[in-house]
Amino acid sequence: MEKDKNILIIGGGIAGLATAYYLKKGLQKGAGSCRITLIEKGSRLGGNIITERLDGFLIEGGPDCFLSEKPWALALCRELGIEEELLPTKKPSGTTYVYSDGRLHPLPEGIILMVPTKVLPLIRDSLISWRGKLRMAMEPFIPKRKETADESLAEFVRRRLGEEVLQKIAQPLVAGIHAGDPETMSVRASFPKFVEMEEKYGSLVRGMLHRMKAMRSMAKKKDGKRLTMFVALKSGMQLLVDTLTDRIKGDVTILKDTAVNRIEKEDHHYTVETEGGESLRAHALVVATPAWVAAELLEALDEELSGLLKSIPYVSTATVSLGYERDRLSHPMDGFGFVVPEKEGRTIMAATWTSSKWEGRAPEGKALIRCFVGGAKRGELVQLEDVELIRLVKKDLSDIMGIEEEPLFVRIYRWHRAMPQYTIGHIERVETIERLCASYSGLYLTGSAYHGIGISDTVREAESTAEKVIATLLG
Ligand SMILES: Cc1cc2nc3c(=O)[nH]c(=O)nc-3n(C[C@H](O)[C@H](O)[C@H](O)COP(=O)(O)OP(=O)(O)OC[C@H]3O[C@@H](n4cnc5c(N)ncnc54)[C@H](O)[C@@H]3O)c2cc1C
């Protein structure tokens, strides 16, 4: 490979950083050498990932963990030598509560996402009515859907498990993960495993029981200890960002405080213009920004591609973390936290009892609660002034958990248009985007907008993007 090829990566979130890392690794393995430059608009790297330490508390502003079932983030941590930092939850599976009709109900044991796998806990459960339980119990006998066209998550859950499960379990759980609206979300793109289970086993219950067997042999740590479903990092998610940055330093030029505002193609290279008026040349260009930013950058190059990228909706969310003296809270906080169905009309859509869920998040004798607000239905909350947002969150914590105590501190992180929504038709939309993109040799899109919204999916995509870049440059 020629030595003077330039690879530009736009965006210094986990997608851009991981792409840079895998590129560096691939090129070092003898695939050739190139100049790699990563351009980040902000003054810090990591995008949505940010960890803050405050008076002995460890606060995650954005993501606080990843799913161990999706192995790519774990594999990256191991490769980076931070395996010892992997932090399982305090308990392998903690109770999640659902706020309904004025009180918190434990989600019955054995309900995985929204699928029941145990009979007894369901019979004893106080959240779902008898009618709703009977409807749930019919799930294995509901015939498979014949049509193959995409379906909304809401329709899917209604069809298989009934309206009550949709309203009281699926909707709030999905809001807590995707900040999304099940009525518009694509079940195929957001929960492909559910569609697979229906297709393969004819039932979610049967499919989930099979899956649980497989999960028992779940990712194990080198010392043989089993990892829990959710895994964090002892020093916070920022460690992943910092370690990646450290590893690429020296081989990758990192330009911070540099916003790209236009991309153009000229013969065999791309020209990238920055807000500061600088012009950079690239033989390969990786756009690792949110899709709506990619749409703006690529508008002059390809209107159709830009239009499709723009049609991937994004929602805004905020996390509000509150620290307390533990003995001033009467609530037992005996679980991972709670979710709130939309019909309850609350500000908080989900809350994590962070100090109950993870070791080392609050000093001895203190408690940390992190609330999640905004999303597809209440995005306007993210715009509220701090004082008003805090007032509403405190009111909910008082009504839901009986907390009247003043917090030791409150930390708010606002995430504007940060969470992509995989709405009906997402898979086909992304296929067209990728087909159009492939017609521009050396142009790549990567990040959470396309094939999975979580950190682990984003890492997998970054690795595959790096492989494609290397293959093109070598070809
Ligand atoms: C509140 C919240 C909680 C979450 N919780 C979890 C969780 O617990 N577990 C999990 O797995 N995932 C979680 N996620 C999702 C996870 O954060 C994403 O999967 C991941 O961080 C996406 O990374 P990215 O690099 O694709 O995008 P981003 O992090 O958005 O990075 C994009 C980068 O591009 C930069 N950029 C934008 N425009 C330009 C420009 N014009 N020029 C140059 N640079 C530009 C931005 O500044 C940013 O740094 C959460 C997300 C949010 C918002």
Give DSSP secondary structure letters for 329-382. --S---SSEEE--GGG--SEEEEE-HHHHSTTSS-TTEEEEEEEEEHHHHGGGG
| Cβ 418 under 6 angstroms from ligand 1 | yes
Q: What is the pLDDT of residue 116?
A: 77
Atom of ligand 1 nearest to the CA of 274: 42
pLDDT at res. 473: 83
Mutate to test the pocket of ligand 1, among 9, 415, 455, 457 (most ligand atoms within 8 A of CB): 455
Task: Report the DSSP beta bridge partners of residue 350.
Answer: 339, 372
Look at residue 45 in the predicted model and tell me its pLDDT.
98
Tokens 């990843």, located at residue:
66
* C-beta 63 within 6 A of ligand 1: yes
The pLDDT of residue 32: 62
Query: Could you give all domains of the chain from N- to C-terminal order, each with its CATH number?
Result: 6-45+241-312+423-474 (3.50.50.60), 110-216 (1.10.3110.10), 314-420 (3.90.660.20)
Q: What region does 333 belong to: left with phi over 0, alpha with psi -120 to 50, or beta?
A: left
User: What's residue 111's pLDDT?
Assistant: 80
Distance 14 CA to ligand 1 centre (A): 7
**Residue 319 CA to ligand 1 centre (angstroms):** 14
Q: Is the CB of 448 under 6 A from ligand 1?
A: yes
Name the residue at shortest CA distance from atom 8 of ligand 1: 63
Distance of CA 260 to the CA centre of its chain: 25
Q: Which of 412, 338, 341 is nearest to 382 (CA)?
A: 412
Nearest CA to ligand 1 atom 27: 13
The CB of 289 under 6 Å from ligand 1? The reply is yes
455 lines ligand 1 (CB under 6 A): yes
Helix (H) or strand (E) holding 411: strand 409-420
Position 229, amino acid:
M
42 lines ligand 1 (CB under 6 A): yes
Q: What is the pLDDT of residues 21-63, one digit of tens each?
A: 999 999 886 656 789 999 999 999 999 999 999 999 999 999 9
For residues 440-449, one letter each, b for 16 or more C-beta atoms within 10 angstroms of the residue's C-beta and e for the rest, the string is bebbbbbbbb
In this prediction, the residues of the chain whose per-residue pLDDT falls under 50 are: 1, 219, 221
Sign for the CA dihedral angle at 220, 221, 227, 230 comes to: negative
- Quote the pTM value: 0.95
Q: Which amino acid is at 281?
A: R
Pocket lining: 66 vs ligand 1, CB cutoff 6 Å:
yes
Q: What is the pLDDT of residues 318-352, one digit of tens each?
A: 999 999 999 999 999 999 999 999 999 999 999 99
pLDDT of residue 270: 96
Q: What is the pLDDT of residue 225?
A: 59
CA–CA separation, 99 and 138 (whole Å): 25
**Residue 33: its pLDDT value, please?**
73
pLDDT at 27: 87
- Is any atom of ligand 1 closer than 6 Å to the C-beta of 374? no
DSSP letter, residue 108: P
Burial of 179 from C-beta contacts in 10 A (0-12 / 13-18 / 19+) = buried
The answer to whether 153 touches 174, Cβ cutoff 8 Å, is yes
Q: Is the CB of 453 under 6 A from ligand 1?
A: yes
Please give the radius of gyration of the chain, using alpha carbons only, rounded to the nearest integer.
23
